[in-house]
Amino acid sequence: MTAPIPPDDPAQMHALGALLGEWMPYIQRFWGATIVIKYGGAAMSSRVLQEGFARDVVLLQLVGMRPVIVHGGGPQVTAMMGRLGMDATFVGGHRVTDEETLEVAKMVLVGKVNKDLVGLIHRHGGTAIGLSGEDARLLVTEPIDQRDEAGRPLDIGLVGQVQEVHTEALELLSGSIIPIVASIGADATGQTRNVNADIAAGALAAALKAEMLLMVTDVPGVLSPTEDGESPLEECRLKELDALEAAGCVSGGMIPKVAAVRAALRAGVGSAHIIDGRQEHALLLEVLTDAGCGTRVAV
């Protein structure tokens, strides 16, 4: 809990007033707008971070936005696999998924992480509903077309890419209930597939024609090489992100993020943001202030 500002400290009261004033144009601009927030497992590492995230989401809804949350839970799935004596393998940022891995991923993401997030939103005064991509055919998937560096097809098991998005169930909620979506989908035959949560969020943002796609993760943005190492980009165009990827500066979990940003922006989403969920109030800073706190990507 942040300590209250003493009312007899005029400098701090003035700064607080100025900050609230800075929010106003952003509230006016985004009032009624759908914002898809991808909450990465990497940014859920403590209860304090999760509480802060839930509080910020509820506040964004209170000031008129329509948040839709899509969550990952990679570290949580890997931890459960470890407890069960299973090994986790990744290719191109995707978890190689056999039947048993899928069973664990579904239990952890849909049964645990999803419901914990619903409870957190309720604790902070909002109302949420937990869904997976299988509910109401929200995310219809097909086997992912994964390639190796030479362009040859790679079999990574029961991993899906999004083929169709059916948003009717979300429309029924009419903005008053916050949907929280676990990134599990099914194909037309009913076969469940594990979907990378970034890919799910990008597809959902595109289908909902969201104003914004926010990806909350554990890095301060998209890191780009500099003379003394690397630093996060504040703003970039999609083509700069393409160039960064072509130069080999995007790896692991950032690969599906870049793909999701590309899909969302090409479908008309206004902007995509990769932000650091370890920073307190990352969401509020990025959405409601001039400063922001991550990488903002626009077409």
Ligand X SMILES: Nc1ncnc2c1ncn2[C@@H]1O[C@H](COP(=O)(O)OP(=O)(O)OP(=O)(O)O)[C@@H](O)[C@H]1O
Which residues bind to Mg ion, rule: CB under 5 A? Answer: 253
Q: Residue 188 — φ and ψ, nearest 5°?
A: -65, -20
By C-beta, is 97 or 217 nearer to ligand X? 217
Among 55, 61, 69, 73, binds ligand X (CB under 6 A): 73
Q: How far apart are CA 73 and CA 78, in angstroms?
A: 9
Using CB under 6 A as the binding rule, whether residue 40 contacts ligand X is answered as yes
By C-beta, is 152 or 239 nearer to ligand X? 239
- Helical H segments across the chain, by residue range: 10-30, 47-62, 74-83, 99-106, 114-123, 168-172, 197-208, 238-246, 254-266, 282-288
CB 118 within 8 A of CB 131: no
For residue 220, CA distances in Å to 26, 37, 69, 170 come to 22, 16, 20, 30
Q: Please identify which residue in the block is written with the tokens 């929280």.
A: 180
Using CB under 6 A as the binding rule, whether residue 294 contacts ligand X is answered as no
Using CB under 6 A as the binding rule, whether residue 225 contacts ligand X is answered as no
Using CB under 6 A as the binding rule, whether residue 250 contacts ligand X is answered as yes
By C-beta, is 179 or 220 nearer to ligand X? 220
Residue 47 CB-density burial (10 A; 0-12 exposed, 13-18 middle, 19+ buried):
exposed
Using CB under 6 A as the binding rule, whether residue 49 contacts ligand X is answered as no
Q: Of 36, 39, 21, 159, give the one whose Cα is nearest residue 90.
A: 159
Minimum distance of Mg ion from residue 198's CB (angstroms): 6
Interaction partner, residue 219 (Mg ion, ligand X, none; CB < 5-8 Å by kind): ligand X
Using CB under 6 A as the binding rule, whether residue 185 contacts ligand X is answered as no
Minimum distance of ligand X from residue 223's CB (angstroms): 3
Interaction partner, residue 251 (Mg ion, ligand X, none; CB < 5-8 Å by kind): ligand X
Residues in the site for ligand X, rule: CB under 6 A? 40-43, 72-74, 197-198, 217-219, 222-223, 249-254
